[in-house]
Amino acid sequence: MTTTTPAATATHCPYCSLQCGMLLAPTAIGSAVPVQVRERADFPVNRGALCGKGQNAAALLAPGVRLSTPLVRTGGGELRAATWAEVLDRVAAGLAAIRAEHGADAVGVFGGGGLTNEKAYQLGKFARVALGTATIDYNGRFCMSSAAAAGRLAFGLDRGLPFPLADIPHTECLILVGANPAETMPPALRYFRELRENGGTLIVVDPRRTRTAEQADLHLQPVPGTDLALALGLLHLLIADQTVDADFVAERTTGFESARAAAMAHWPERVESVTGVPVSQLREAARHFGRARTGMVLTARGPEQQSKGTDTVGAWINLCLAAGKAGRPYSGYGCLTGQGNGQGGREHGQKADQLPGYRSIEDPAARAHVAAVWGVDPDTLPRSGRSAYELLDSLGRPGPDGVRALLVMGSNPVVSAPRAAHITARLRELELLVVCDAVLSETAQLADVVLPSTQWAEETGTMTNLEGRVILRRQAVAPPPGVRSDLWIMRALAERLDSQAEFDDDPETVFAELRRASAGGQADYAGLDYQRLRAEDGVFWPCPAEDHPGTPRLFLDRFATPDGRARFAPVTHRPAAEQPDQEYPLYLTTGRVLAQYQSGAQTRRVAELTAAAPGPFVELHPRLAARLEVTDGEPLAVVSRRGRAVAPARITDAIRPDTVFMPFHWSGAGRANTLTNPALDPTSKMPEFKVCAVRVEKV
């Protein structure tokens, strides 16, 4: 008798927005994990390459790592195991009682940028139909909302990259602003290396000399929070050097004169005084970008996570437009999305102001279209709700605007929210906190009810990567017996809440409904189905019909504005919301490290990753260390107006002397977001994670 080896499942990594292809092969009976990760060379985004997080992703499936039974809070304050019937009845009764006493908006929902499209879509539907609440937002608001807002203002449409990653090596000059893909998405670094191998120029803008900056032809190291002045200064030099593409500006844009006036007020010497970037480097960067035949600007969290992030990204878009480097092959502006489904997660309804298909919830036609798909009266749909930080800040507050109950799905705000100690206190004030997660995160540890949900390899669903490529993540293993999918949880709760709309827990059925809801919207998925996604390496939206090939490159013929023209942003520089002073003389900036991901709820449970990055640290310049008489590895306290964090010193000349850096993956004493400033961008409502004033003390 012969036996056959079960086939490996072609699927995708559970982490960042690259959504790298991988194979999951069954392991031997008795192994600690049910599958092992293997290379999948045929997927075009990563071509087989995986970072350490992806290589060790199967460890998340180990029995000791993940939740396997529902938990409820006892009268004594402990979490104990419970049955699904008990927890669902308790949650539904609690939500219904709070809604009846305080109104629907007293019940909140907080989602995540790692949820599949199906979950994100159904979570928005669940909030607005089963609960009837406007109080829904998600942690993607903390990711690229400023870039999304700026992209919509300039181009009429937001998609992380309006071109495939494969176009990057073919551009002549690329400016990478506030991004560190060498550590955040390592398989993407090959595209930047190939650009240089092809003779192109890579310019990196970052206050730190990161692993990515070390790859650059030119590294600009500005003061944190001054990226807007830097972009204006480069545009000034393009105008002065007469490398503005006048024909492109006249034929395909509007609003140049206001952008020109703002740029001319930012002459090189003034920009050097604001940013700390020498005039010689400003001129070199402008010369490379202005004279290149093709060029790109890519931004990430650096310029976006500021209280002026929308304007800052708008200024970098202005630079692209003035140089004629948008809406043309191998040219354009793009955003490097962070979370695995940061793009799809906001397209289909878990953002406070949006309905599926990237529709505005305030648009009567959009409300009518989606309500028809859901089988409800459009007048019953709530209007726009509060943004992520505003929602979290309202938790447990007395009065009509206070949120009394919160359902959290796939997020860990105890670690990831700005002013995190304050948000933790707000979570403790809730009458009911329900957390759906695969692991017992710091937020789940505060919950009244914890619902264990399936994770990446235990379920099927679609994701949309940073290119706008919709891919199918396939189930490879069965979940533990006590675990249910988020779709199942929403359906079960909706039934108990007597929802007027039906909910399904089959992802393919939910995706078919998503297709109908998105049809005709900007993020149109109508031409996609599971059969097609199984056969192709992803399809780029918009894809309005089954015979449509998808749209890998946007804006080549026209921009998505009513007149088809891109719009310059009328922006000018202003300082960060909080500047250093005598009491807090330094800048703090935050970011990520190679071996950890986001709030660390998953990666900190993987032994190999924890060994590589065991805890937080404070990066500071040798001159600052000498002034404080601090040695490498010595505990340091970083203090802001919001709190205090303690971590070992890491002394390096890769950072500016006026700046300290902390990674944000850890909770406890070294939690970087204890310090960060929740000052919000007025347009995107993005908090100012990337810059605040601090002092550093020896412990």
- Residue 89 sits in a domain of what CATH number? 3.40.50.740
Q: Are residues 352 and 312 in the same domain?
A: no
Within a domain: residue 118?
yes
User: Are the C-beta atoms of 642 and 417 separated by less than 8 Å?
Assistant: no
| Same-domain status, 204 and 345 | no
The number of residues in the chain equals 699
104, 147, 385, 498, 501 from 130: Cα distances, Å = 10, 31, 16, 7, 7
Of 483, 508, 540, the last residue of a domain is 540
CB 519 within 8 A of CB 357: yes
Element (H, E) at 283: helix 279-291
- Domain finish residue from 313, 339, 365: 339
Q: Are residues 610 and 652 in the same domain?
A: yes
Q: Which helix (H) or strand (E) holds 11?
A: strand 9-12
Domain CATH code at residue 324: 3.40.228.10
| Strand ranges (E), 206-331 | 218-220, 253-254, 295-299
Query: Residue 187 falls within a domain, yes or no?
Result: yes
CA distance 86 to 202: 57
Looking at the fold, whether 511 and 591 belong to one and the same domain comes out as: no
Last residue of a domain, one of 472, 507, 540: 540
Query: Rounded distance, CA 493 to CA 131, Å?
Result: 10
Q: Looking at the structure, do residues 311 and 289 belong to the same domain, yes or no?
A: yes
The CATH number given to whatever domain includes residue 35 is: 2.20.25
Q: What is the tally of structural domains in the chain?
A: 4
What dihedral angle (degrees, nearest 10) is formed by the CA atoms of 182, 186, 191, 196? 30
Which regions of the chain are under pLDDT 70? 1-6
Does residue 441 share a domain with residue 348? yes
Q: How far is residue 81's CA from residue 74's CA, in Å, rounded to a whole number?
A: 10
Residue 660 is assigned to a structural domain of this protein:
yes
Same domain, 119 and 149: no
Q: In the structure encoding, which two tokens stand for residue 484, read together?
A: 């249910």
Task: Mark whether 307 and 196 lie in a shared domain.
Answer: yes
Whether residue 431 is found in the same domain as residue 417? yes
Q: Would you say residue 563 lies in a domain? A: no
**Tokens at 517, concatenated:** 């809801």
Q: Are 434 and 483 found together in one domain?
A: yes
Domain assignment present for 516: yes
Cβ count near 122 (within 10 Å) = 30
| Burial group, residue 622, by CB count within 10 angstroms (0-12, 13-18, 19+) | middle
- Whether 103 and 181 share a structural domain: no
Residue 474 sits in which domain range? Answer: 76-141+341-540
| Statement to judge: residues 88 and 55 lie in one domain | no
| Torsion angle defined by CA atoms of residues 656, 657, 662 and 663, in that order, rounded to the nearest 10 degrees | 20
**Residue in the structure block whose two tokens are 């970011």:** 591
Whether 1 is covered by a domain: the verdict is: no
| Cα–Cα distance list, 108 to 119, 145, 348, 401, 457 (Å) | 16, 20, 18, 11, 29
Residue entry with tokens 């015979």? 547
Residue 265 belongs to a domain: yes
**Beta strands per DSSP E along 570-668:** 586-591, 618-620, 635-640, 643-651, 659-663
- Cis peptide upstream of residue 542 (ω within 30 degrees of 0): yes
Joined tokens for residue 32: 């600690």
Geometric angle at alpha carbon 125, from 120 and 127, rounded to 5° = 95
Residues 6+ apart with CB under 8 A from 134: 104, 105, 128, 352, 382, 383, 384, 385, 386
Where residue 642 sits, what CATH number does that domain have? 2.40.40.20
Instruction: Tell me the DSSP string of 178-220.
Output: S--HHHHSGGGHHHHHHHHHTT-EEEEE-SB--TTGGG-SEEE
Q: Which pLDDT belongs to residue 29?
A: 82
Compute CA distances 517 → 285, 370, 465, whole Å. Answer: 45, 5, 20
568 in a structural domain: no
pLDDT of residue 1: 44
